Structure 1
Amino acid sequence: MIKLSIVIPTYNMGDYLERSLNYLSAQNNDFHDLFEVVVVDDGSSDDTGNVADKYAGNFQNFSYNFKPRDNTSCRAAARNLGISKCTGDHIMFMDSGVIVTPDFVQKQIAFCDAYPNDVLIHHVIGLFASPQHEAMGLLEQAGPSTLQQAIAELQKFPIWCDEREEIYELVNNDLTLLPAPWALSWTCALAAPRQKILQIEGFDESFIGWGGEDIDFGFRLHEAGCTFRTVGNSITTVHWPHAPLEPGAKPQTPKFHKKHQKLETGILSLLDGYHANHFMLRLESLVIKGMRTPVPVEIQNAIQNIQNDGNTHLIMGSSDVSMLLQLPKTSHIMLHRKSDTLNVQQLLSEVAVQHSLCIATQYGDSHFNSLILFDVVGYMPPALRDIILEEALRISERVFVVCCSEQKRAEKSRLEGVETSLFLGWRYWTNDELKDSFQKHGGFPEAVSRADNAVLYEIQKSA
């Protein structure tokens, strides 16, 4: 019975594939009948096929699959071919050049037995190290039996460490505490239940080129109900350093966000997985607390008057249901706290409620007659505030901002300790600072409406 299938897609990386197969063939003997190796050659012109033939006899279960190269060739398609050849309960994806200790399969199968429905994100060292790094000698002199000692020495060099370690330590390896654990799912070394992979239909082959297909894969596994886990250093893989295969290539996270249109995917289009999770943790736990105060009646009345013109009106950043019930012409709501989104969706089922920060939305130019942006902009770092405002001005004919009074904002800052934020630029901003930001996008006229604790402004579009 095959418990684990290891899929290795490769393209003109024969020497790196040989390293992977050499270390995999040295697995503890008692487990050779429990795993299979599936190599997918994505149209290589080097000696990849000969390498596969050389090592095929070292495994009880091994297949080599050649996929002719064409203009649709990509990592996603190669992995999907590998998936179709797998018979194991779990599938692990491994890049050419990833090497493992002799107890790797044993530990991986033990994890799969303990967590049969979960995704395992492996600890990977060496992914960002240079092949010219001074410590390469440690790796070159190692073999399967001494790899663990080499790993201990290599981890003394920061460039060799897995850059995700900081976020792992933040949550004590409990990825269920992260809002977007899938953002850490690099398929250079990742395992998931085969049935879940088949359920989501594998990788999206529209991701041609480097980056994006693995994050999209992880996101859809998460949406399908998979729990993501890591076991830290107890299961470590080494990514043998090599020169960039596609120098200058950028991850396709904007394409990924365009596909899914979620708050998390929007944040990931701006930040890497580590900082995106940090950001979303902060957003969920602190930012919205300052939005809990009731909106003054004067401001509500002004918004009602604005919404009398037209039929499509978006409110962003307020989960005050009592106020929203007084604004029956609201057609869309965007909220940045997931629990608030679910609550408002249940209470206002006739309104389109999204978990979103208004980043690269799917809406066309001037789709909305009005967009009311609540005081969330008073919390955001300037760069993100600019992105939100630019998109708001694009998708709506008129854009209004509800700002707390500076006294109220200062009180919240003291009460909630936001001034000690880990994020550069994440604090409560004064109205003068906000005014400077808004003026980048047009004008910041006199207030449309004022109340004791809030002001409603309209941002004029640039000519």
Structure 2
Amino acid sequence: MEKKCSIIIPTKDKNSRLYLTLKCLEPQVDENTEVLVVFDGCTKETIEEFNTFTWKMNVQKVISEKNVGRAAARNLGIARATGDVIIFLDDDRLTEANFIKGHMKGHTGDPCVVLGERMDAKVTEFELLDLMKEKNLADVLSFVAEHSKKEFYYNIKKIFVKKPRAKYRFMAFITGNVSIDRSLINEIKGFDEGFKGWGYEDTDIGYRLAKLNIPYYQDNSIICYHLLHSHVKSQKSKEELKNLKYLKHKFPDDRVLGSAIRFYTLKARLEL
């Protein structure tokens, strides 16, 4: 029997990016796929504008009036998901045509984690608005691909998943393009909502999955393009360091995780 999947996309007031994310998914969605968008404390205007968008696929809205954060928002999506496999995608990631099939191909055997390729795309807000009006999806993806390059930081992280059970494979676990058997998510009880602000709720869940000896598989043919956006580096670094402290407190005596945390702490302080 063919497995079904649930795609969970948390969002916070980024309709132009979200629109393009869903536009890329639309041709791929069939009866074995459900799409859940979690509105995490979005403004009334954001939701009203989203309601004007029309799709040939069913998009389930999960609305949290309060901004609960990345971990809790994804848990809201997990609670509504019915698929055998959960694909986590961000609201600013455009996917190639084989995205869903590529992830599902990796889940034909025992429960596992499948990681896709990540590209960084520099596209202006004006260009995004033009892309929203473009009818030909191939032209949208072609334009974005021309303005993309491999995500530098993630390209380094891929060395940790050269083997399915490599010791540090959890360091490559990033929720922008990853899929997991829902049975595993339920077993570890989802994301830890103690992580607030930016960072490491995904490292934590990736680490807990690795502790269960779950294999990780990297598939560079499953491509998504990250539509880069600005952020306040000082605020991000502050939140990052706070979450690293929380992660260290959860597993105080773990040498493997401790090594990773020291690396991440240096990265945060250098604001890489």
Matched, 1:239 2:226: yes
1:48, distance to aligned residue in structure 2 (A): 3.3
Aligned to 2:270: none
TM-score normalised per structure 1: 0.50
1:185 pairs, out of 173, 189, 198, with 173
2:90 pairs, out of 72, 87, 95, with 95
Distance 1:35 1:41, change over 3 A: same
Aligned to 2:72: 77
Amino acid at match of 2:116: H
Matched, 1:209 2:200: no
Aligned to 2:248: 257
Is the contact between residue 84 and residue 183 of structure 2 (CA under 8 Å) also seen in structure 1?
yes
Distance 1:146 1:112, change over 3 A: farther
The structure whose Rg is larger is: 1
Amino acid at match of 2:249: K
1:178, distance to aligned residue in structure 2 (A): 3.0
Amino acid at match of 1:165: N
Aligned to 1:271: 263
Is the contact between residue 39 and residue 64 of structure 1 (CA under 8 Å) also seen in structure 2?
yes
Distance 1:142 1:214, change over 3 A: farther
Is the contact between residue 157 and residue 172 of structure 2 (CA under 8 Å) also seen in structure 1?
no
Amino acid at match of 1:183: M
Count of residues in correspondence between the two structures: 258
Take 2:86 and 2:54, find their aligned partners in 1: how far apart are those partners?
19
Amino acid at match of 1:106: K
Amino acid at match of 1:244: H
**Paired residues for 1:384-399 under 5 Å:** none
Take 2:196 and 2:244, find their aligned partners in 1: how far apart are those partners?
12
1:142, distance to aligned residue in structure 2 (A): 9.9
After superposition, give the CA deviation of every residue in 1:126-166 in whole Å (9 maximum; x if it has no partner).
1xx65559x999x88895324564565445x4xx5343324
Take 2:140 and 2:208, find their aligned partners in 1: how far apart are those partners?
34
1:66 pairs, out of 63, 67, 75, with 63
Amino acid at match of 2:66: R
Take 2:56 and 2:49, find their aligned partners in 1: how far apart are those partners?
12
Aligned to 1:3: 4
What secondary structure sits across from 2:17 in the alignment? helix
Unaligned runs of 5+ in 1: 276-463
Identity, % of aligned positions: 25
2:42 pairs, out of 38, 41, 44, with 44
1:185, distance to aligned residue in structure 2 (A): 0.8
Amino acid at match of 2:118: V
Take 1:151 and 1:57, find their aligned partners in 2: how far apart are those partners?
22
Take 1:191 and 1:209, find their aligned partners in 2: how far apart are those partners?
23
2:151 pairs, out of 157, 161, 164, with 161
After superposition, give the CA deviation of every residue in 1:305-351 in whole Å (9 maximum; x if it has no partner).
xxxxxxxxxxxxxxxxxxxxxxxxxxxxxxxxxxxxxxxxxxxxxxx
Unaligned runs of 5+ in 2: 268-272
Take 2:157 and 2:195, find their aligned partners in 1: how far apart are those partners?
27
Take 1:193 and 1:238, find their aligned partners in 2: how far apart are those partners?
23
1:199 pairs, out of 164, 183, 187, with 187
Is the contact between residue 38 and residue 64 of structure 2 (CA under 8 Å) also seen in structure 1?
yes
Take 2:107 and 2:261, find their aligned partners in 1: how far apart are those partners?
31
Coordinate RMSD, CA, aligned: 3.1
Is the contact between residue 5 and residue 33 of structure 2 (CA under 8 Å) also seen in structure 1?
yes
Take 1:47 and 1:8, find their aligned partners in 2: how far apart are those partners?
19
More relative contact order in 1 or in 2 (CA 8 Å, sep 6+)?
2
Aligned to 1:32: 30
Aligned to 1:122: 116
Is the contact between residue 112 and residue 215 of structure 2 (CA under 8 Å) also seen in structure 1?
yes
**Paired residues for 1:405-444 under 5 Å:** none
What secondary structure sits across from 1:32 in the alignment? coil
Is the contact between residue 56 and residue 62 of structure 1 (CA under 8 Å) also seen in structure 2?
no
What secondary structure sits across from 2:178 in the alignment? strand
Aligned to 1:315: none
Aligned to 2:14: 13
Take 2:52 and 2:102, find their aligned partners in 1: how far apart are those partners?
26
What secondary structure sits across from 2:18 in the alignment? helix
Take 1:167 and 1:67, find their aligned partners in 2: how far apart are those partners?
33
Amino acid at match of 1:19: L
Aligned to 1:392: none
Is the contact between residue 175 and residue 230 of structure 1 (CA under 8 Å) also seen in structure 2?
no
TM-score normalised per structure 2: 0.82
Distance 1:54 1:34, change over 3 A: farther
